[in-house]
Structure 1
Amino acid sequence: MSEVIKHVVAPDGQTRVTIHRRADGRFEFSYDKFYVDEIPEYNHHMEYWAPGQLSGIFDTAETAIREASVDFPWVSDLKNEGGS
């Protein structure tokens, strides 16, 4: 089981990145994309977060955040939105 260290959502609300502390004490990050699927035959839509790829493994949370910032520059610019 991992612990959430930092959880941020992109300014456009379409991507979120989570920094995790793994059970072995090392760190990784994951990202999710937000989707809305229209279902016209039922006059309904579904909103959901779909998982993206998991990162590599890092020795520190700072390194995981720095690496996440390569693909998601807003990660290092935003305040924590969850976790400890």
Structure 2
Amino acid sequence: MMSEERLKRIEEYLESAAHRLDNHGELIAELRAAQMMAAQQIEATNQNMRDFMILFQEFLLVVRDMQAEVRGLQLENRRILDHLFGTGEEPAT
């Protein structure tokens, strides 16, 4: 037969193990909540990046249009200067 002292030690060990399991369960729940929050933040960041890329592509189109307008104005200015001052240079296109 087991001694009463040995039974008491086993009981204390089991209580300690149960307490640690409870603590681990709480920690796991906290970890899952933190993981879910991180996943939501990552998804929000990804959405912001997608939105940024769309806006950046639209911006590039505007910049390209502006560059084309500037090139057209430069060409027109060269033609005017050539007409006024007769430089005789062919405008570069």
Which has more radius of gyration? 2
Higher helix proportion: 2
Larger relative contact order (C-alpha < 8 A, sep ≥ 6)? 1
TM-based fold match above 0.5: no
TM-score, structure 2 as length reference = 0.16
